Structure 1
Amino acid sequence: MHSSNPFKNFKKDIPASIVVFFVALPLCLGIALASGAPPFAGLISGIIGGIVVGALSGSQLGVSGPAAGLAAIVATAITDLGSFEIFLVAVVVGGAIQVVFGLLKLGIIGYYFPSSVIKGMLTGIGIIIFLKQIPHFFGLDNDPEGDMDYFQVDGETTFSEILSIGEYISPGATLIGVIALAILLLWSNVLSGKSKIFEVIQGPLVAVAVGIIYYVFTSDLSYWNISNEHLVNVPIPENFDSFVGQFRFPDFSHIGNVDVLITAFTIALVASLETLLSVEATDKLDPLKRVSPTNKELIAQGTGNMVSGFIGGLPITQVIVRSSANIQSGGKTKMSTILHGFLLLGSVIIIPALMNKIPLSVLAAILLIVGYKLAKPSVFKEMWTAGWRQFTPFVVTVLLLQINFLLGVGVGLAIGIVITLFQSYQNSHFLHATESDETGEHKVIMILAEEVTFFNKATILKELDSLPRNTYLELDVTNTNYLDYDVIEILDDFREKARNREINILLISELGMEENPESFSEFFKLRSKK
């Protein structure tokens, strides 16, 4: 058995934390911009998501931080509530509601999402990541990192942004992006198997270092240089006082405001749903197939949101982009998550100027790899081979996720439920009919399923009504643990019709056999008592 001791796998967790840090840094800043919040607020939530939530969470590989799925809610709430400080009250209260959700053990909801929908979510997010990074790779940075919606903050759509790359292409950003991508592919496909040093020093770290060196040495070149709008933009405080001044605090005088409470509940509900989906998805990606305690996760997320809101951060959820980057980089325990939080904190306090020399196209190259690994073509083949019942909710989730996260998951889940009900409709019973004997009597054996609900009424009624005259029906309920009252009523009604159609019924159960029972409802009442 693998130990979850956070210090046992440092050799794996430290390199993974560095990769997650480079993925999280632009996303924290970009999601803050997409949310209409101060950039520092995104960094706060990333730090809290790594250190606080990482320490409290039971998920070994999940990484938390500001979520793109909440950006639209946050932007609307800040405008409607009138100030960022009032919005922070909603974040704190929303966190408290999440803690209550965890204490009420509502985390079990996460286990009810079909595997096809979870795989569709992972694949759909992979496609979104890949498509969204293409403009950044070529130096088109009008839309902030972290904007995952089809209709973007900059007024474009995912595809119109890609089509307009030719008008805004930056030669310098593109060149270093290609170099970074080549380094990443060389590292993962060739060098990582040559020596342990290439496993300890990760390709993304080398790519970022090369990107910084390129920026410094080409700064005086007019054509191949990289301008500031194509670089990471971490706020740089002039002194300690200006650093402290970046923190914002909630205005609790509005805690009784109905709009604040509605926003808080909305944040708690959406953040909890996104977290539970990400937990399920992360567990599926985990090579060790560990199962994360979902109720503990809700409590950890709620605590993180309360802390984040208290010091001026955005709402936090567990997010699949950072979690998958953690897994793909070889992370083994939650220490990689916690370390990435400390790296974010260090970058803000100690080396913000160095961080601002990282080209966004280099980080785009890292995310292109992450996106591709989540949405490999082999996944589509696997789901197609599994049959239409798996492929349909999978592909619907993938397609609609491109427009909106909750829309894709919601419709995919609805289709999964409909297919399940259809299967239940079909599998209510097993029917076996024999040829007529010399007396002209048909013998039909009907074995009811383990659970028969009102969804099965139509198919059972159809089978009973289709029985010809002079039939001998053996109705076997030996293995039936639950029989809905609606179905019992159908059987009682059929008993009357059977007499007129000369149909004899033999009821078989664990209590024995009964010929032409007088009342099915009375029989099942007696059976339930025993």
Structure 2
Amino acid sequence: MFKYLKNDLPASIVVFFVALPLCLGIALASGAPLFSGLIAGIIGGTIVGALSGSKIGVSGPAAGLAAIVFTAIQNLGYESFLVAVVLGGVIQLIFGLLKAGIIGYYFPSSVIKGMLTGIGIIIILKQIPHFFGMDKDPQGDFSFLQIDGENTFTELLKAINALISGNVSMGATIIALISMVILLLWSNVLSKKGKIFQIVQGPLVAVAVGIIFYVLTKDSSLTISSDHLVAVPVPDDFNSFLGQFNFPDFTTIANPTIWVTAFTIALVASLETLLCVEATDKLDPHKNVTPTNRELFAQGTGNIISGLIGGLPITQVIVRSSANIQSGGRTKLSAIIHGFLLLISVILIPTLLNKIPLSVLAAILFIVGFKLAKPALFKKMYDLGWKQFIPFTITVLGIVFIDLLYGIGLGLLVGIIVILIKSYQNSHFLHIEDKSNGKHKIKMTLAEEVTFFNKGAILKELDSLPKDTYLEINLIGTRYLDNDIIEILEDFLFKAKERNIDIKLVSKRGIVENPESFFKFFNERPKSNISLS
């Protein structure tokens, strides 16, 4: 695991700077104590990172759960909500034992790519106000509808209007632009000049410059207000530090609402994790494959521990994971170190962390978002054809205009509709030859697998056959024939006699001139569906 320390250590620092404001922002968006987001980030890095089989996935509090958490805290109170988090973790362990991790493999590639692209666009749109020092919404608020009644685009318009009228925070904007230059210069030029520029990452330099800028301009017209800085809770002493931890109230465990919340957290967190696993494995340049059932076990263990000490629910998170991949992370050590960096910094240097301008972190997230949502990907998906492009586009739009899970659900629904359409179209091949003995000779070759999805297409073709036709139905390549299709063919035998249509069946068993006996043979089999293998 230490073989790639030179890769993992710099990557862990980048992930740390990405995770820090998101942990705090998601806690704020969830209506939870700020420290609870940091607890989830620390547990997600150290515990889940150690137990997970993913080499590049990074876990922590997730924006996708913010609305669920917010409602649960309002209805239950925080201590009772923590009981639901612990129970949700136990349910995730059961999911792992039941091998439920396979669910993630049933999502189409176009939907997974749409998820990555949609998240990239959301990151960019959400960080624009922070870039210019307009930080009224927490950085972890990724839903289209914001907690203050605004939405993504009204906030964006406010930022643009403020920029035009000169009402932005000049200090925050200047250091954000400087940070962007540093990041681009580091990744495109300096990283190729020497090893020192590969070990010391651009985001670390940008953050250091941001802190220096804040200190030097503190009493000038370019000063950055506290609203535009990281806001890690700073305890007065060790006892006040311990006082930030909350513990579940298990006396309320019999409350049915707690169990409903626990199942909701377990289902949503597991689904979001499995989708993130699938996405990060696709992004991974080394093409590692994550054992999904082990991931559910790791996530469940992390949620149990997080809930026991006052943390938010945990999932694997694509923003952190993609930042890890983009920064060259190679093993799980990167995620583990990032967790320890969160822990050490919160204990030892919270005051220093609170001098980091949010606009600097917005610049870092800009780069992460752009790499997820490259314009070239839209062209690539378009070139792959409508069957890939439409589910991809619907997923992107759903994520941007609603939220992550709705977007994925819409993309999956469209993907299923595409499959049904193609299944309808590809059930058979019809070839018309010239007339033989005064009759049209028509060959119908059925597909390898023919199910009830294909009923409409086959029925339409059979009903459109003209009178006085010689029909040959070729079943040689058909390995599976649904009973619904057999019933359609049997019904057509009676119609064929009335329309003077002669039928011949060709299968691996040979040519059947008496179709009635052929269908009777298969209908007398013990199973309703037949295999022609």
- In structure 1, give the amino acid aligned to 2:230: V
Equivalents in 2 of 1:332, 1:164: separation in Å? 40
How far 1:479 sits from its partner (Å)? 2.2
Matching residue within 34, 38, 47 for 2:29? 34
Matched-pair contact (CA < 8 Å) for 2:40–2:60: yes
Q: Deviation digits for residues 122-153 of structure 1, max 9, x if unmatched? A: 11110000010001011111101100011112
Q: TM-score, normalised by structure 1?
A: 0.96
Consecutive unaligned residues in structure 1, runs of 5 or more:
1-5
The residue that corresponds to 2:375 in the other structure is 377
**Preserved CA contact (<8 Å) 1:492 1:519:** no
Decide whether the 8 Å contact of 2:92 with 2:296 is kept in 1.
Answer: yes
Map of 1:494 onto structure 2 = 492
Counterpart amino acid of residue 97 in structure 1: I
Q: 1:139 aligns with which of 119, 129, 133?
A: 133
Give the RMSD, CA atoms, in angstroms.
1.3
1:306 aligned onto 2:301: no
Which residue of the other structure, out of 9, 13, 17, is the alignment partner of 2:12?
Answer: 17
1:468 to partner: Cα distance: 2.2
User: Which amino acid in structure 1 is aligned with residue 62 of structure 2?
Assistant: A
Match for residue 391 of structure 1?
A: 389
Between stretches 70-79 and 192-201, larger displacement belongs to 192-201
1:342-421 equivalences under 5 Å are 342-402=340-400, 403-421=402-420
SS at match of 2:173: helix
Mapped partners of 2:340, 2:54: distance in 1: 18
Deviation at 1:483, TM superposition (A): 1.2
Q: TM-score, normalised by structure 2?
A: 0.96
8 Å CA contact retained: 2:481, 2:532 = no
Match of 1:281 among 255, 279, 282: 279
CA contact (8 A) 1:32 1:41 kept: yes
- How many angstroms does 1:522 deviate by? 2.6
1:87 counterpart = 2:81 = yes
1:52-131 maps to which residues of 2 (within 5 A)? 52-81=47-76, 83-131=77-125
Q: Which SS does the other structure have where 1:182 is aligned?
A: helix
Stretches of 4+ moved more than 4 A in 1?
525-530
Q: Give the secondary-structure state (helix, strand or coil) at the position aligned to 2:515.
A: coil
Corresponding residue for residue 153 of structure 1: 147
Alignment coverage as a number of residue pairs: 522
Asked if the contact 1:95/1:305 (under 8 Å) is kept, the reply is: yes
Give the C-alpha shift of residue 501 in structure 1: 2.4
Answer yes or no: is the 8 Å Cα contact 1:488–1:520 preserved in 2.
Answer: no
Cα distance in structure 1, aligned partners of 2:73 and 2:390: 38
Q: 1:457 to 1:346 in 2, by over 3 A?
A: same
> What CA distance in whole angstroms lies between the structure 2 residues aligned with 1:308 and 1:484?
50
Structure 2 CA distance for aligned equivalents of residues 474 and 529 of structure 1? 17
**For residues 178-327 of structure 1, what are the structure 2 equivalents within 5 Å?**
178-221=177-220, 223-327=221-325
Structure-2 separation of matches of 1:399 and 1:149? 12
1:147-189 CA distance string (max 9 Å, x none): 0011112332212212222445111111110000000000011
What is the CA distance between 1:19 and its match in structure 2?
0.3
| Structure 2 spans left out of the alignment, 5+ residues | none
Determine helix, strand or coil for the equivalent of 2:435.
coil
SS of corresponding position for 2:430: strand
Is the CA contact 2:478–2:532 (under 8 Å) kept in the aligned structure 1? no
Going from structure 1 to structure 2, the CA distance change for 1:252 and 1:521 (only over 3 Å counts) comes to farther
Letter of the 1:306 counterpart: I
- Structure 1 pair 369–441 and aligned structure 2 pair: CA distance change class (3 A): same
Q: 1:520 deviation in Å?
A: 4.3
Residue identity opposite 2:339 in structure 1: G
Q: Secondary structure at the match of 2:429?
A: strand
1:295-347 Cα shifts (integer Å, max 9, x gaps): 11111111110110000000001111111111111111111111100110111
Kept in 1, the 8 Å contact 2:84–2:259? The answer is yes
Structure 1 residue 389: Cα displacement: 1.4
Distance in 1 of aligned mates of 2:176 and 2:149: 25
Residues 509-528 of structure 1: CA distance to partner in whole angstroms, max 9, x if unpaired?
22222113224443335575
Q: What are the residue-to-residue correspondences of 1:456-471 with 2, within 5 Å?
A: 456-471=454-469
Q: Distance in 2 between matches of 1:231 and 1:376?
A: 29
Matched, 1:162 2:156: yes
TM superposition shift of 1:397: 1.0
